[in-house]
Amino acid sequence: MKVTGNNSNEENSKTPLNFIEVMIERDLGNGLHDEVITRFPPEPNGYLHIGHAKAISLSFGLAQQYKGKCNLRFDDTNPVTEEDEYVQAIKKDISWLGFKWASEHYASDYFDQLYEWAIKLIKKGKAYVDDQAAEEIAATRGTPTRPGKESPYRNRSVEENLRLIEAMKNGEYEDGERVLRAKIDMASPNMHMRDPAMYRIKKASHHRTGDTWCIYPMYDFAHGQSDYIEGITHSLCTLEFEVHRPLYDWFLDQILDDPGGYRPRQTEFARLNLNYTIMSKRKLLQLVEEKYVSGWDDPRMPTISGMRRRGYTPASIRNFSEKVGIAKRNNIIDVALLEHSVREDLNRVAQRAFAVLDPVKVVLTNYPEDKEEEMAAVNNPEDETAGKRPIKFSRELYIERDDFMEDPPKKFFRLGPGRMVRLKYGYIIKCIDYIKDESGKITELHCEYIPESRSGSDTSGIKVKGTIHWLAVRHAVSAEVRMYDRLFNDEDPAGHKDKDFLEFLNPDSLKVIKHAFVEDRLKHAKPLDHFQFERKGYFNADYDATPENPVFNLTVTLRDSWAKLSGKN
């Protein structure tokens, strides 16, 4: 799929068409449709996650690619779980991903029409009110190999059914006391065709229709019809709906009475599954409600809002969706591919910066106390136009604690007693001495700098193998750095029969460094500004950041640290 969206397939002729593109080109070619109209149909009962991003990239991407349209439709047929907060969050996320819907719709806008159609089916003898309780209905549904049992209420007269549906609608029954069912075939090999429910009673306030209704259509009785009303040509959904397709078609055929007339067409693709990741909205809600995370936008959440806060870019998510491609069979994608996508994008766009996360002080004993130099640091080696910035160099510096070892092995190319290292954009220094406190912790390193070794005009002739980053103590700014890692430490946290997914929460998924140091210009970083902290990883400013208290989130390390652990690389 080409989400950037050029109409021309000649331009993209090198990528073979996927099965949906093949279908669309056939439908356009033989004049079945003049224009491609797709839709993305979220239920506003939670925040969008990376799986939805894939569905969004697909439906919006195809509309762009074929110069058609993609609608946003809220599938709001269950008032109990749906809220306006979710509607707003979903719109924000789709826009942030870079997609524009042609028009915004709600299944609830069609409640009148759907009800009329239900009446029509009753009049045709194709629907009936069932008095059985949900448990009885389930118990008499049969199994895939054994037919179900017909309801004793199945052959009610049209008049009685009309009276009962009216009474249901008027609130004369309580939740679960009656249900409207389609009269299809209790022996169908497809369980979804065994007199499926069309309407159920729910005495709950709806986020848009308030208390106007107390009966609500089921997904199956709303989706195809909504597609029809909007003139959708290609209705793309995930594979679990494949078995619903005969019902989708059946309802439309019964309602429309126009064999061969226009129909939206449902096509299924494999949902995105990621290892180390939970994507069930119910479980994500549980993580939020039980406070395992700070909210839907906790940077460890696989939600779009969490990923945005974590530092993912829209392009990285779109590129990921494209790389994953679309398949007809379910599979599991390695979350490392997602991490790779964000690294790849941030490598191109993120400004480099120096940050010392675990500082130890270095005193350059031969560097004058009042002296200060400005070193020129490259903002982004991948982008010449990003230019350079000055960084102040002086006698007292911070370096990373782990860039020094008291007793380093031979292959350690950084600092140790008597050893030399280059300070990036600065000088070569040599460690002369170090000071420890009572607990054995190193508190200060004493080094000498080599005056002839300044980067760019080095005449020292000294070759060193290691280069490290640093910050001048005088100019370093204290910052909080939140080191995020995967939320789960198991590849398939929800896939264990005997264990709850919560048992696989990674206890190290967040480590807060209260006093790291960053370049002083980062005080002014605005929330979501991206940086590569050299040698450390990609970071972005958090929503909590202020000039007084800068806060940064680790988006992703420079290299995949999990690959080593699992022996994959």
List 20, 42, 99, 321, residue binding ligand ATP (CB under 6 A): 42
Q: Which of 290, 315, 122, 118 is nearest to 221 (CA)?
A: 118
CA–CA dist 35, 569 (Å, integer) = 46
Query: Considering the rule CB under 6 A, would residue 83 count as an interface residue with ligand ATP?
Result: no
For the CB of residue 306, give the shortest distance to ligand ATP in the complex, in Å: 15
Stretch that binds ligand ATP, among 36-44, 160-168, 367-375, 376-384 (CB under 6 A): 36-44
CA–CA dist 293, 535 (Å, integer) = 28
For the CB of residue 322, give the shortest distance to ligand ATP in the complex, in Å: 14
Q: Residue 18 in contact with residue 1, Cβ under 8 Å?
A: yes
Sheet (strand 69-74) strand order: 37-40, 69-74, 104-106
Token readout for 36 is 């491609």
Query: Considering the rule CB under 6 A, would residue 3 count as an interface residue with ligand ATP?
Result: no
CB closer to ligand ATP, 42 vs 537: 42
Stretch that binds ligand ATP, among 45-53, 101-109, 254-262, 349-357 (CB under 6 A): 45-53
Site map 273..292 versus ligand ATP, x via CB under 6 A: ------x-x-----------
Beta strands in 63-103 (DSSP E): 69-74
List 1, 3, 54, 448, residue binding ligand ATP (CB under 6 A): 54
CA–CA dist 449, 402 (Å, integer) = 20
Stretch that binds ligand ATP, among 41-49, 102-110, 175-183, 445-453 (CB under 6 A): 41-49
For the CB of residue 74, give the shortest distance to ligand ATP in the complex, in Å: 9
CA–CA dist 427, 454 (Å, integer) = 5
Q: Residue 514 in contact with residue 556, Cβ under 8 Å?
A: no
Query: Considering the rule CB under 6 A, would residue 245 count as an interface residue with ligand ATP?
Result: no
Query: Considering the rule CB under 6 A, would residue 426 count as an interface residue with ligand ATP?
Result: no
For the CB of residue 557, give the shortest distance to ligand ATP in the complex, in Å: 25
Residues that are catalytic:
43, 271, 281
For the CB of residue 238, give the shortest distance to ligand ATP in the complex, in Å: 4
Query: Considering the rule CB under 6 A, would residue 105 count as an interface residue with ligand ATP?
Result: no
CA–CA dist 493, 488 (Å, integer) = 7
For the CB of residue 98, give the shortest distance to ligand ATP in the complex, in Å: 17
Query: Considering the rule CB under 6 A, would residue 207 count as an interface residue with ligand ATP?
Result: no
CB closer to ligand ATP, 281 vs 482: 281
CA–CA dist 12, 15 (Å, integer) = 6
- How many CB atoms lie under 10 A from the CB of residue 88? 11
CA–CA dist 239, 482 (Å, integer) = 38
Which of positions 491-510 make contact with ligand ATP (CB under 6 A)?
none
For the CB of residue 555, give the shortest distance to ligand ATP in the complex, in Å: 22
Stretch that binds ligand ATP, among 12-20, 25-33, 35-43, 101-109 (CB under 6 A): 35-43
CB closer to ligand ATP, 240 vs 500: 240
CA–CA dist 437, 445 (Å, integer) = 12
> How many residues belong to the chain?
569
CB closer to ligand ATP, 52 vs 486: 52
CB closer to ligand ATP, 54 vs 469: 54
For the CB of residue 275, give the shortest distance to ligand ATP in the complex, in Å: 13
Q: Which amino acid is at 338?
A: L
CB closer to ligand ATP, 130 vs 227: 227
Q: Residue 319 in contact with residue 361, Cβ under 8 Å?
A: no
Q: Residue 354 in contact with residue 535, Cβ under 8 Å?
A: no
CA–CA dist 542, 510 (Å, integer) = 14
Query: Considering the rule CB under 6 A, would residue 545 count as an interface residue with ligand ATP?
Result: no
For the CB of residue 158, give the shortest distance to ligand ATP in the complex, in Å: 34
Q: Which amino acid is at 216?
A: Y
Query: Considering the rule CB under 6 A, would residue 557 count as an interface residue with ligand ATP?
Result: no
Query: Considering the rule CB under 6 A, would residue 196 count as an interface residue with ligand ATP?
Result: no
List 24, 36, 38, 52, residue binding ligand ATP (CB under 6 A): 52
Helix or strand (DSSP H, E) at 30: none
DSSP helix/strand/coil, 536: coil
List 55, 122, 525, 545, residue binding ligand ATP (CB under 6 A): 55
CA–CA dist 136, 143 (Å, integer) = 14
Stretch that binds ligand ATP, among 46-54, 210-218, 390-398, 426-434 (CB under 6 A): 46-54
Query: Considering the rule CB under 6 A, would residue 12 count as an interface residue with ligand ATP?
Result: no
Pairing mode, if any, of strands 234-238 and 467-468?
Answer: unpaired
Q: Residue 36 in contact with residue 66, Cβ under 8 Å?
A: yes
User: What values do phi and psi take at 182, rounded to 5?
Assistant: -80, 145
For the CB of residue 239, give the shortest distance to ligand ATP in the complex, in Å: 9
Q: Which of 242, 126, 125, 263 is nearest to 190 (CA)?
A: 242
Q: Which of 42, 48, 41, 44 is nearest to 302 (CA)?
A: 48
Q: Residue 289 in contact with residue 42, Cβ under 8 Å?
A: no
CB closer to ligand ATP, 230 vs 448: 230
Query: Considering the rule CB under 6 A, would residue 256 count as an interface residue with ligand ATP?
Result: no
Query: Considering the rule CB under 6 A, would residue 314 count as an interface residue with ligand ATP?
Result: no
CB closer to ligand ATP, 237 vs 472: 237
Residue whose C-beta lies closest to ligand ATP: 51
Query: Can you say whether residue 67 is alpha, beta or left, with left for phi > 0 and alpha for psi between -120 and 50 degrees?
Result: left
The count of residues interacting with ligand ATP (CB under 6 A) is 14
Query: Considering the rule CB under 6 A, would residue 165 count as an interface residue with ligand ATP?
Result: no
- How many CB atoms lie under 10 A from the CB of residue 210? 9
- Binding residues for ligand ATP (CB under 6 A): 41-43, 45, 51-52, 54-55, 237-238, 271-272, 279, 281
